[in-house]
Chain A
Amino acid sequence: DQQVKQNSPSLSVQEGRISILNCDYTNSMFDYFLWYKKYPAEGPTFLISISSIKDKNEDGRFTVFLNKSAKHLSLHIVPSQPGDSAVYFCAASESNFNKFYFGSGTKLNVKP
């Protein structure tokens, strides 16, 4: 039972353009959403998060948008850089944070 879904396994964008990564979830009890970035042979690294009381959170080139009615979140990267090429996972948790559910990941390739 996949409670967090990333339907695009891969995305390719040109350097300098916007990257938009999407994530859908089914559990309305999720209170907190995170994006992680993973390079080969490394563990996932926390990137940005958003709580369910907000609809947008921004950190430099990274912005996460949350649409609770649609149970959808997205990560925008502007401008995209070749170093952003990695696998991006979205994750969700209820308010107790004792269990995190991850999507299957989207592999982003930013072309120079």
Chain B
Amino acid sequence: ETGVTQSPTHLIKTRGQQVTLRCSSQSGHNTVSWYQQALGQGPQFIFQYYREEENGRGNFPPRFSGLQFPNYSSELNVNALELDDSALYLCASSLVAGAETQYFGPGTRLLVL
């Protein structure tokens, strides 16, 4: 059983650009959540997807959007990047929606210049 993987590991973008981050969940996990972790802060919940539908959303603007695919992979898309979007982006998968335990990937470090 493979763990949760994320790509790329690091990324540099400029303000106004768009970015797509990718996550591959553990096999059989049909729920994925995305988090933003700014420096010195804890992970902030962006949204959760369950069976390819959004299942919950945190206080993030619509320019943060996601997709989940049947093969247990998912994407986080951020449009019109701002300097404050610089952070570590974590995805976490769980076996089912409503499962208390999530398995995190190592994250993608995004720097917006």
Contacts and interface: CB of A to CB of B under 8 A. Distances in A.
A97 B98 contact: yes
Contact of A101 (B4, B40, B45, B98): B45
Contacts of B4: 43
Contacts of B43: 44, 89, 100, 102
Given A49-B100, A98-B48, A42 B106 contact: yes
A53 interface: no
B67 to A, nearest CB: 18
B27 interface: no
Given A43-B92, A44-B90, A89-B42, A100 B33 contact: yes
A97 B98 CA distance: 5
8 contacts: A43-B106, A46-B101, A96-B98, A99-B48, A100-B102, A102-B45, A104-B41, A104-B42
Interface of B: 4, 33, 35, 40-45, 48, 50, 55-56, 58, 90, 92, 94, 97-107
Closest 5 CB pairs of A and B: A43-B104, A98-B56, A102-B42, A104-B42, A102-B43
